[in-house]
Amino acid sequence: MLSLLLAYVLTCVLVQQAQIYLIAKELRPDNRSVKALILEISLITLVFTAALVLSYRPFLASIITLALSTVFLVVNQAKYKALAEPLVFSDIYLYLQVFSHPRLFLPFLNLPLTFLAISIGLALLYLAAVLEPALTINRMIVSLLALLMSLFLLVAIRKLALEFKLSFQTKKDLRELGFFNSLIIYFTQALQKKHLDNFKNLVQKNSPYAQSTQLAGEHPTIIVIQSESFFDPRQLSPSIKTEVLEAFDKIKTNSAQTGKLTIPAWGANTLRSEYAFLSGFNNQELSYYRYNPYEFLQNFSSVSIASYLKSLGYRCICIHPNHSAFFKRDKIFPLIDFDEFIDIKEFDSSQTAGPYISDQAVYEKIQELLNKKPDTQALFIFAITMENHGPLHLESHTETDLNQLYQSEPPKQHHDLTIYLKHLKNADRMLLSLTEGLKARKEMTWLAWYGDHIPSMPAVYQELNWQDGRSEYLIWNNRETQQPNQQIELSIEQLGIELLKRAGFGIADKT
């Protein structure tokens, strides 16, 4: 029994220390309350108890508990480095996709360090399993006691977790509550029926698109391009050639409205910006569900720009050259009234630029839909590009690329930036092709183009001390007579409303 007590105390101390030293300094817990410490010890005890019942070896149970804790801390470290955000409770739903889309997740880990840690962990597990004798106690009694203790701990953890007040500022909550506590508190509170009901009521009734208004006159074609990681990187360094966004610069001058776009994501988490645009909700309004709204929208229909346009007779189509099941869009988009989802299965696998389907292929798919559109059918196309998706560091560049993209010596940490610029030029060409094609069409067409987030380039941002996470947008139409260009900074949830107002729809700002 002495070994059991020693292993348990050692586990509690080591997990506490790991939470301090395996996390960024600015995230380390500070001055936690007694209640927070009790919650954390309860969590450790629960995991240790489960591991003990499985192994009947105290030190093996300790190693298992430490290994699980380390996995969460390593993933948190990787995410924080790449996306400037700590791990949040709903990331577990996203990261389960690592098995079907490993390229989008695994490269952000420090793979040599990860493999080393796994090797050491497996070696320790093996040694403990082989060298440590099993406890010589009645296993039935131990299992029964462990079950009773686990039930007690689950009840206590739930009760404690519901008592904490959250700020919904992930870094602040993590510092005040501790890493593991913040995960379990958010998770427990988010699953409460009252919070889920409030979320459902919000997205069904409070969207600016909840009250559809008839449109007088013609129903213009509406096209929206969510351009992967699109922003103006020339702000980063004067060494970048202005020509990388030559078409964007030209088209901006002929647009009805352009400007900076505030978005709720940095480096990834496209679904946050995407849902903010589609729903008209500021991401902060979604409370617990702001981090991964799609996970909690699967069981009921809700209001969106698509449902609004569909009520006016539009056919609403989404184009995305990735698997529709990613982010569970295949379940969500029909519930927000998209009629059709064109995903990677309908693209030629040879139409790539780098590892993903090219922006040019997306443009061609849009043209195909426009050419087949009946004259009497109003059409809304929402296209989500993929070409410029990271991880950028897995691709390579040449000396020719450097000469084409930079007018002087590039920044020291320029590899990811160079790859990004290569693909950004293709996004720029897509915009030019699209607008030129639309000018040749007779029917009135409105286009909105925006970036869902800035790309993940942590080394570049660190070197240049870059902290501005805004992207860019424009609103344009294909008629020769343009309204005077207005430079207006928007938040992403306002963009759809501005687009429809410009196009003549009777829609009011959300109050």
pLDDT in tens, 443-493: 999 999 999 999 999 999 999 999 999 999 999 999 865 566 789 999 999
DSSP per-residue string spanning 137-204:
S-HHHHHHHHHHHHHHHHHHHHHHHHHPPP-S-HHHHHHHH-HHHHHHHHHHHHT-HHHHHHHHHHHH
What is the reported pLDDT for 447? 98
* 111: confidence class by pLDDT, cuts 50, 70, 90: low
Q: Which two tokens stand for residue 323?
A: 């698997």
When pLDDT is averaged across residues 46-52 and rounded to a whole number, the result is: 94
What is the reported pLDDT for 473? 98
When pLDDT is averaged across residues 225-237 and rounded to a whole number, the result is: 97
- The reply to whether 165 and 275 lie within a common domain is no
Which of 49-53, 157-161, 192-196 is predicted least confidently?
49-53
Percentage with pLDDT > 70 across the chain:
95
Cα gap 358→347, rounded to integer Å: 10
Parent domain of 431:
220-502
* In-domain check, residue 209: no
Q: Report yes or no: 315 and 327 within 8 Å, Cβ to Cβ.
A: no
* pLDDT single digits (tens) 380-391: 999 999 999 999
What is the reported pLDDT for 458? 93
* 225: confidence class by pLDDT, cuts 50, 70, 90: very high
Q: Is pLDDT of 305 > 90?
A: yes
DSSP 239: T
Cα gap 492→451, rounded to integer Å: 9
Phi, psi of 141 (to 5 degrees): -65, -45
* In-domain check, residue 215: no
What is the reported pLDDT for 346? 96
Q: Which two tokens stand for residue 202?
A: 């919000």
The total number of residues shown for the chain amounts to 511
* In-domain check, residue 227: yes
| Cα atoms found within 13 Å of the Cα of residue 169, Cβ hemisphere only | 6
Domain end marker among 154, 170, 191: 191
Q: Report yes or no: 446 and 476 within 8 Å, Cβ to Cβ.
A: yes
* In-domain check, residue 166: yes
Q: Report yes or no: 43 and 184 within 8 Å, Cβ to Cβ.
A: yes
For the stretch 45-64, what's the b/e string if a residue is b when 16 or more beta carbons lie within 10 angstroms of its beta carbon?
Answer: bbbbbbbbbebbbbbbbbbb
What is the reported pLDDT for 171? 94
When pLDDT is averaged across residues 28-36 and rounded to a whole number, the result is: 89
Cα gap 335→330, rounded to integer Å: 9
What is the reported pLDDT for 114? 67
Which of 13-22, 192-201, 206-215, 430-439 is predicted least confidently?
206-215
Structural domains of the chain, count: 2
What is the reported pLDDT for 22? 87
When pLDDT is averaged across residues 6-24 and rounded to a whole number, the result is: 91
- The reply to whether 235 and 340 lie within a common domain is yes
What amino acid occupies position 79? K
Cα gap 16→355, rounded to integer Å: 41
- The reply to whether 187 and 227 lie within a common domain is no
What is the reported pLDDT for 213? 65
- The reply to whether 172 and 278 lie within a common domain is no
> Which helix H or strand E contains 450, and what residues bound it?
strand 445-451
| Cα atoms found within 13 Å of the Cα of residue 53, Cβ hemisphere only | 16
- The reply to whether 366 and 416 lie within a common domain is yes
What is the reported pLDDT for 55? 85
* In-domain check, residue 203: no
- The reply to whether 184 and 227 lie within a common domain is no
What is the reported pLDDT for 49? 94
* pLDDT single digits (tens) 233-272: 999 999 999 999 999 999 999 999 999 999 999 999 999 9
What is the reported pLDDT for 115? 73
Helices (H), 22-95: 34-55, 58-83, 91-95
For the stretch 112-145, what's the b/e string if a residue is b when 16 or more beta carbons lie within 10 angstroms of its beta carbon?
Answer: eeeeeeeeebeebeeebeeebeebeeeeeeeeee
- The reply to whether 228 and 83 lie within a common domain is no
Residue that the structure tokens 């870094």 belong to = 171
- The reply to whether 185 and 233 lie within a common domain is no
* In-domain check, residue 319: yes
What is the reported pLDDT for 509? 64
- The reply to whether 338 and 463 lie within a common domain is yes
Residue that the structure tokens 């589609």 belong to = 278
Cα gap 337→278, rounded to integer Å: 11
Phi, psi of 446 (to 5 degrees): -110, 140
Q: Is pLDDT of 4 > 90?
A: no
* In-domain check, residue 486: yes
- The reply to whether 302 and 440 lie within a common domain is yes
- The reply to whether 111 and 256 lie within a common domain is no
CATH number, domain at 263? 3.40.720.10
- Cα–Cα–Cα angle for 308, 376, 438, rounded to 5 degrees: 80
* In-domain check, residue 338: yes
- The reply to whether 156 and 232 lie within a common domain is no
Average pLDDT of the chain to the nearest whole number:
91
What is the reported pLDDT for 100? 77
What Å distances lie between residue 441 and 436, 438, 446, CA to CA?
Answer: 9, 5, 12
Q: How many other C-beta atoms can be found within 10 angstroms of the C-beta atom of residue 99?
A: 8
Report CA dihedral (453, 454, 455, 461) to the nearest 10 degrees: -150
